[in-house]
Amino acid sequence: QSVLTQPPSVSGAPGQRVTISCTGSSSNIGAGYDVHWYQQVPGTAPKLLIYANRNRPSGVPDRFSGSKSGTSASLAITGLQAEDETDYYCQSYDSSLEVFGTGTKVTVL
Amino acid sequence: QVQLQESGPGLVKPSQTLSLTCTVSGGSISSGYYYWSWIRQHPGKGLEWIGNIHYSGTSFYNPSLKSRLTISVDTSKNQFSLKLSSVTAADTAVYYCARKSGSYPSYYFDYWGQGTLVTVSS
């Protein structure tokens, strides 16, 4: 059972903005641990999308942005594209172990 | 460009030991900046961290697996390995190796292997 909760699904039309929340607690995100985000196309390995709350690795489009506040974090995708339709996971740290979110499937309508 | 590649049996019998190796190329496993990790994903489910190891041998395990788990490193081969004993069908998953980067309190997985499906079945 993951300690980081994400909505199972979010959807939006092409060009729109969608956000994915990652809700934790005082023992993980609220304790000051950073949040990181991964994009996973089914059948492939996760790909680092955002690290340290808001930083994009080289090659990640600036349509993807991250933020963190209190015990939660968010991933925003602006200018939604068909290729963004896949799964997304947040990750942080809690009580001596790395923890992942429950995962969110983004659907482009 | 760092690359990681998992290898090992795709089928393991119940009660036996699951053994996987991750070969790192394009960089040295002996770099002190990184931990080397195992992560698994049950079919259709989310990601579960298994454990990390530093080239020095320092390791950290998921408490839920600790009693059955051994992660080791072989710097001469630029490899690290996973052994999970007494497996059951619940250990059927895609197993990924990954590089853990960053610094406290911000660790993340920046390079991943392609993953290997391990099925536990008689």
Q: CB of B9 within 8 A of CB of B117?
A: no
Among the partner-chain residues A44, A93, A97, the one whose CB lies closest to the CB of B62 is: A97
Q: Quote the mean pLDDT of chain A.
A: 96
Closest by CA to A78, choosing from A3, A12, A2, is: A12
Closest by CA to A52, choosing from B103, B113, B33, B111, is: B103
pLDDT exceeds 90 at position A1:
no
pLDDT tens digits, B65-94: 999 999 999 999 999 999 999 999 999 999
The average pLDDT across B109-120 equals: 98
- What pLDDT does A58 receive? 96
d(CA A33, CA A36): 10
- Give the number of C-alpha atoms closer than 13 A to the C-alpha of residue A39, restricted to the C-beta side: 18
Q: CB of A98 within 8 A of CB of B36?
A: no
Strands A104-108 and A9-12, how do they pair? Answer: parallel
Chain A residue numbers with beta carbons less than 8 Å from the beta carbon of B113 are: 45
- What pLDDT does A51 receive? 97
pLDDT tens digits, B6-53: 999 999 999 999 999 999 999 999 988 899 999 999 999 999 999 999
- What pLDDT does A57 receive? 96
d(CA B45, CA A28): 21
Q: Which residue in chain B has the smallest CA separation from A30?
A: B105
B102:A52 CB<8 A: yes
Six-digit token string for B59: 């390791």
Specify the DSSP element, H or E, that contains B21: strand B18-25
CA distance B93 to chain A (A): 12
pLDDT tens digits, A36-85: 999 999 999 999 999 999 999 999 999 999 999 999 999 999 999 999 99
Spatial neighbors of A106 by CB under 8 A, at least 6 apart, are A9, A10, A11, A12, A18, A20, A77, A80, A84, A85, A86, A87, A88
d(CA B68, CA B6): 20
